[in-house]
């Protein structure tokens, strides 16, 4: 069993994403939290790994406008601020679990 495989990905409301993992763990992110850890090349410098986007600039009212599956390893999110280049691998989502941080 791969514990980093989601069984259920639920948009419980427009500003919240809940993931139920194969090992029974549950993770819940707000859209603003996801936007704040967005790993895309526009938010994080690919060479230095430095975050170019300031998470404190994210509105707490941000919502995710769209959630798409990417293969069987990630989800792609489009946020209400128009940002849509972030691909969030399942392993990344598990590693950045706000409840475990
Ligand atoms: Zn990004």
Instruction: For residue 43, give its domain range.
Output: 6-95
Q: What is the pLDDT of residue 51?
A: 95
Q: What is the whole-number distance in angstroms between the Cα of residue 15 and the centre of ligand 1?
A: 17
Residue 89: which CATH number? 3.30.2020.30
Check whether 73 has a pLDDT greater than 70.
yes
Has residue 1 been placed in a domain?
A: no
Q: What is the pLDDT of residue 99?
A: 86
Q: What is the pLDDT of residue 101?
A: 67
Q: What is the mean pLDDT of the chain?
A: 94
Tell me, what DSSP letter sits at residue 24? S
* pLDDT cut 70: percent of the chain above it: 98
Has residue 24 been placed in a domain?
A: yes
User: How many independent structural domains does the chain possess?
Assistant: 1
List the one residue out of 100, 98, 95 whose CA is nearest residue 4.
95
Has residue 29 been placed in a domain?
A: yes
The owner of tokens 């980093």 is 4
Q: What is the whole-number distance in angstroms between the Cα of residue 45 and the centre of ligand 1?
A: 10
Roughly how many angstroms between the first and final C-alpha of the chain, as a whole number? Answer: 24
Q: What is the whole-number distance in angstroms between the Cα of residue 35 and the centre of ligand 1?
A: 7
pTM, two decimals, is 0.92
List the one residue out of 99, 101, 78 whose CA is nearest residue 21.
99
Has residue 91 been placed in a domain?
A: yes
Has residue 30 been placed in a domain?
A: yes
Has residue 20 been placed in a domain?
A: yes
As a whole number, mean pLDDT of residues 31-51 equals 96
Q: What is the pLDDT of residue 2?
A: 81
Q: What is the pLDDT of residue 39?
A: 96
Has residue 100 been placed in a domain?
A: no
As a whole number, mean pLDDT of residues 33-54 equals 96
């Amino acid at each position: 069993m791969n514990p980093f495989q989601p069984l259920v990905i639920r948009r419980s409301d427009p500003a919240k994403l809940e993931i139920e993992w194969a090992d029974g763990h549950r993770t819940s992110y707000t859209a603003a939290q996801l936007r704040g850890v967005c790993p895309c090349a526009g938010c994080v410098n690919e060479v230095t790994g430095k975050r170019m986007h300031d998470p404190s600039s994210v509105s707490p009212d941000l919502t995710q406008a769209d959630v798409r599956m990417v293969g069987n390893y990630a989800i792609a999110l489009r946020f209400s601020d128009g940002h849509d280049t972030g691909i969030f691998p399942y392993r990344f989502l598990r590693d950045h679990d706000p409840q475990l941080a």
